[in-house]
Structure 1
């Protein structure tokens, strides 16, 4: 393979501070993440030391306020950082996105006392979070979750099982959605649960086709007891809190998807300009040139879509529809681009010697997590035509 490096993506960043921030991320990526990504993913190694470094560098709390250890960065900048991390290793980029998702409830709905007590360690104290919404029998239909939290004096006792939990078994804290009242969305409450709480146990990690370095596991809550001071928001407010978090989380997945797609395109361009057939580089052939052009166009369109949604969020405007559109378009684009990159490399693309086969396997999960792309289409349609009639 050629040593020729692809040109870094030109970023539209609002301040000199944000430009320096992205430069720092690229330096960490080149020295600490990219060199070991392929080997560690194949071996299923979780890079906890990378997350510790990111925390020490102020990169785990970028979109949150500096008064509690965050980075005070707009979402527009935070998402571009995610893209850089995911392009190097999706386990890291998606892991940062999930951690930010796990912090959202407390940062947005906690009391001043709760934020002061917990956010500094969550945002810049080396901790890593998990977000516990899905269950074995309630994925897309999250409002039907069965995990229960029962009041016992000044405590709550949580019992049930959460499924498909990123960082399951390694997280230091979990944002947990549990049923405290009536059936449906109105009976759900959010809690902040320590990762080492008595009665909280992780199952063996799932065996996945991609992101093997990121542990995904069921979490079993066997009478886990937490104080009422760890209840986030009001009783019954949990589902609204969850939906708010998911809107932001979907933008994180969109940015990660564009990172994966950009990495696949970079590899395809590098290979096509080096590989010679019939006496000239295969990049000279029109059919392949058009394929590369289409790949690049999908990436630029997806990047523009997620950045516009982020700007709406930063301005305090509604962005739920745009977040669903960005998640849908960017993850579908990542799957197409990664598949085409394998095709550009031909037989080599199907081997472990080149990264595009890993990128193709990783792209697939992005169409599923944070709400499947079928759910995104439902969200978008509701914004256009109103709720479904029954």
Structure 2
């Protein structure tokens, strides 16, 4: 039972129920319930048991299942978005009630916790949920050592594409068994992994000091902000947000025609970036609309547009004052640095630059590379294999398709990917 003061003989979590919360509950042991509830009648008929959990048939009892379906009324709540991270700073009980509500509505979940799994499952109706106990001693079958952060990461990575919801609980025990920095590293790993997965991540911070809770919240917020900022850094994507802000909802075809696209993959690329950042969503019919975050961004588009105009004007002024030379210096410095620390990306960038200069000439190529490589050059960040593939794809479907046929743009990207073994 979820709470000692609720006499729920079938083990139902009454605190999830809109009838109970709204004080409209029939109450388990009322005369009406004794007459209508299958589970209650069964418990009262068997002298040796006091609740469904005393019965050996509880795991597969159809009477109990029907009784719960008839009794429990779930209030509709906010949907957990795939790829989103939710830092829960309230009690662990509230966090598990939230999970239980979504599991009851058909979502699959996996829970990493330091709590005893059978007790957790019984209290919050999570009998069919995969629970990974983080054991402080030698782990038994099905358990993970709380000190084995790498193992936790491996199991977590294996679950994110199988489940709708992942719960990371027991941070207090994790930091006591390891260190706060190692625990933060695990949280950071989970945050990054979840972004491109179909699962939502619930991080339970109950038991942590207030400063530690804030640290976890800030980490999750920073990650989300960076992704959103990157998604709206392109004027084409800002235009899509402005369109959805004005129209409310639009199909792919409506956006395609309204914004004057001529190549479907280019629009698909921009929509995917916006979806990945959670700025836009799709309904069951595939129609696009602004998320809560996207709506807030949409209301700021006028200010953002003005700032872009200012930046563009400033860029032109700088170009007259030797801005080109400054860019060339930074580009050459980055290439020299990567030649020492990230050698495999240098020939890829060189081939991209050389081929673009043949198509566009030096000035347009410089503009494309400034847009594509700006983040890496300013932070001197290495380009991973995934980054290199993303650079080639973005140039092909955002820049090349406006100047050459789509088939040729695809061939251009395909040839580079094959040449540098980036196809897989």
Q: TM-score, normalised by structure 2?
A: 0.20
Q: Which has the higher strand share?
A: 1
* Larger relative contact order, structure 1 or 2 (CA cutoff 8 Å, min sep 6): 1
Bigger Rg, which one: 2
Q: Which has the higher helix share?
A: 2
